[in-house]
Amino acid sequence: MSYTETVGNRTYRFADLKTLLAKASPQRSGDQLAGVAAASEEERVAAKMALAQVPLRTFLNEAVIPYESDEVTRLVIDDHSPQAFAEISHLTVGDFRNWLLSSTTDADALTRIAAGLTPEMVAAVSKLMRNQDLIAAARKRPVITRFRNTVGLPGRMSVRLQPNHPTDDVKGIAASMLDGLMYGCGDAMIGINPASDNLAAITRLLLMIDEFRQRFQVPTQSCVLTHVTNTIAAIEKGAPVDLVFQSIAGTEKANAGFGISLGLLQEAYEAGLSLKRGTVGNNLMYFETGQGSALSADAHFGVDQQTCEVRAYAVARKFNPFLVNTVVGFIGPEYLYDGKQITRAGLEDHFCGKLLGVPMGCDICYTNHAEADQDDMDNLLTLLGVAGINFIMGIPGADDVMLNYQSTSFHDALYVRDVLGLRRAPEFEEWLESMQITDSRGALLSASSQQPLLESANDWMGIA
């Protein structure tokens, strides 16, 4: 089905829904690289006007990637709930935007319709929204998950403590981990990107974190971000696996490039559940995504990068994840050129994930060859804090010494919690107070108050 819109004296024609979605996207370098972006701002406006008139029902009948050739499309269509969709089934994309921003649309309403939304519907409405609209609507939709603590409660924001090391040195990782905990970070999880995929090294890291967690009774969860097949192998060998990690994308071909399928993810999910390590809940999958991953694998099929990204959230939703992380600026300026594009993408990803019922966090980051700096990250951090982000990253000095990119630091988490009045996960908050790391308000205590824990931890690590 084609779509047309007239602006001034010129009529624009869009061959199909896939083309219309791409042309309506805000400007970004990845879509230009793929050759799917609007050729002018006028064409982009025309596409937005045409998209606003498309009935939401259209997305159930016109797939951007054919049902027969893509298992993600089959997942989206087969798992769609007509009952949940009924409440909004009469709306166009433009009407849906107005409904989302209405003062009468609350968290209960957004929860009711989530199973009736497809990624393409959600991507479409985001393309009609300003940044403030993305923030206002996402803020209405908390997504709460539980494993050893509770993440995503309104008024709270968690931090993934990322103590990476270029050689996977256990003492170096432990020192960074302790540093982050003393700043009150780590309630989302302690998550290590290993420098090696060696199973013995991965198991050694899992054992180290688990030993520390048990010795000091830390109510958090651990993860070593290795390929899901390695995690399954670690589980089979008896390693203490909490969260099961995998990078995912929005098309079957892109996921194949990661070496995964929906069937393999199901196997990993069931393996994680079999361990029964959660204490307050059983959400245990941890997924990472990023706009441009399908394009970089030549697996986008002419679909714009943001729509591909949102399709990845449908994959995540299938497995009841504990956390989903859009690593927004990591893939590079070929896909998100500068701070403005990174900011917009981060707000889009958070909004779209939350609307689909996914517990979204964001690695607010950039690579050193992007046209971005830490001021851009401060801006996005603040905006996502207002929008109700589930978690952000905590990295020593905001500079990952293993992955070589710029993210957010332990101090950045203190800043955003202070200015926005955000608290930590409740179980973790109680532990911090009991260990004299923070007071009852969540403020850090003096170094002298923290000294007993620090000395005990140093003794455990064998550091004089």
pLDDT at residue number 447: 79
Element (H, E) at 375: helix 374-387
In Å, the largest CA–CA distance within the chain is: 77
The predicted pLDDT at position 280 comes to: 98
pLDDT of residue 464: 46
Q: What is the pLDDT of residue 463?
A: 59
According to DSSP, the β-strands at 3-7 and 391-394 are unpaired
Calpha distance 395→196 (Å, rounded):
19
Quote the CA–CA distance of 391 and 359 in Å, as a whole number.
9
Phi, psi of 190 (to 5 degrees): -105, 110
Mean pLDDT by 10 residues, the chain (464 residues): 92 98 98 98 98 98 97 98 98 98 98 98 98 98 98 98 95 93 97 94 96 95 98 97 98 98 98 98 98 96 98 98 97 96 98 98 96 97 98 96 94 98 98 94 86 78 63
Which residues on adjacent β-strands are paired with residue 145? 151
Cβ neighbours for 440, distance < 8 A, ≥ 6 positions apart:
433
Amino acid at 126: S
Distance CA 386, CA 384 (A): 5
Helix (H) or strand (E) holding 402: none
pTM higher than 0.85: yes
Q: Are 291 and 346 within 8 A, CB to CB? A: no
The count of other CB atoms within 10 Å of the CB of residue 270 is 12
Q: Measure the CA angle with vertex 293, ends 287 and 298; round to 5°.
A: 140
3-state helix, strand, coil in the chain (%, to 5): 50, 15, 40
